[in-house]
Amino acid sequence: MMPNEELTLLPFDLKWVKGNFDADAFGDFDLHFNKFYVDTKLSKMLYVNGKVIGYVMVKPLSMGRIIKDILYWVKHKKYSDFSLFVSPDSIRSYSKKQGIFINSIYIMPQYRHQSYSDKLTEYCRQLGDYTWGISRKIIFEKYWGPKQHQIRTVEYNDGEEVNVIFADQR
């Protein structure tokens, strides 16, 4: 981030997100933009000096709910290599708290590596008791793990890649 830069969060702009959608990072747009997983009122665009450079799609949602779904698919052999990195009690303890699911976070390529995404993750953090997300293992290890004090809760292979479910430690 440069000095004198003004970072602002403004209402979600679906048209922009669709037009700039990074299918390599996120896969199918319709799968991501699903009412069950996105709250368009809470989701935000990030502006720097009046220019949009990224966004976050977010929704209040329990992490335990999704872990249950994943266990179902593990049982039915659609997902494999399932590992739990925390105790079941620790997962259960999250169910008493308000979880904020970070569906997707995006910064335009020319603005990356300058910590602009911190503004989006900080915003998400103050929406509930904890934030959580699902990410490809490489992104977890390079981005989420070191930067956000996130812990790995579950890892599974969806048949294409290994995914990590992570949550913050509060």
Ligand X SMILES: CC(C)(COP(=O)(O)OP(=O)(O)OC[C@H]1O[C@@H](n2cnc3c(N)ncnc32)[C@H](O)[C@@H]1OP(=O)(O)O)[C@@H](O)C(=O)NCCC(=O)NCCS
Q: Which of 164, 151, 127, 154 is nearest to 44 (CA)?
A: 127
Q: Which is nearer to ligand X, 64 or 103 (CB)?
A: 103
Residue 69 tokens read as: 């779904």
Q: Cβ contacts of residue 123 below 8 Å, gap of 6+?
A: 9, 44, 56
> Do residues 101 and 127 make contact, with C-beta atoms less than 8 angstroms apart?
no
String marking each residue 13-32 x if it binds ligand X according to CB under 6 A? ---------x--x-------
Our finding on whether 149 is near ligand X (CB under 6 A) is: no
Residue 157 tokens read as: 């292979």
Query: Per DSSP, what are the bridge partners of residue 97?
Result: none
Contacts with ligand X: how many residues (CB under 6 A)?
18
Single out the residue of 61, 70, 105, 154 in contact with ligand X (rule: CB under 6 A). 105
String marking each residue 59-78 x if it binds ligand X according to CB under 6 A? --------------------
Single out the residue of 87, 113, 159, 169 in contact with ligand X (rule: CB under 6 A). 113
